[in-house]
Every structure is written in structure tokens, then in C-alpha cells.
Amino acid sequence: MKTYHAIWNGNEHRFNKLVPFDYTFLVEFPNIVVRAKSPEEAKAKIEIINKKAKGIDRFDFESKRVL
């Protein structure tokens, strides 16, 4: 398993492009970290989350069951 992260883009209400996780990078809410076997699997996970997140505020993730 590998670790990847994506940074929240508030203007578009979605996560930006996936990048490999750097352990020196401080991940703060609402950025997201995913674990996957390949970049393709991680990208698919982020795309699913982005579809659910479309049009909602990042603070509504729990109530809307996005994550």
C-alpha cells in the first residue's frame, strides 16, 4: 500500500490533483490522505469523493457522509 494526498480547492468544492504523500508535509483539514495499491486506485477514490463533495461545504462532509 502507498499513501497519497490531495488538497482541498474551496473555489471548486473538490480536491485537487492527487500527489504522493510526503511525510514532511503537514496534512491539515480539509486536505485528505488515501491509501491505495496504485496511483490509479487512489485517483479513483478521490474521484468518488469529489463526486459526493460537489457543491457542498467541506464542513458538511460528515453530515453528508462524503468520507
pLDDT of residue 22: 77
What's residue 52's pLDDT?
Answer: 78
pLDDT in tens, 1-54: 889 888 888 888 888 888 888 777 777 767 888 899 998 999 998 898 888 777
CB 46 within 8 A of CB 6: yes
Write out the DSSP string of 6-29.
Answer: E-EETTTTEE---EE--TTS---T
0.85 surpassed by pTM: no
pLDDT given for residue 20 in this prediction: 86
Q: What is the number of structural domains in the chain?
A: 1
Whether residue 67 lies inside any domain: the answer is: no
Does any domain span residue 66? no
In a domain, 19, yes or no: yes
How high is the pLDDT of residue 37? 93
CA angle 23, 6, 2 (to 5 degrees): 50
65 domain residue, yes or no: no
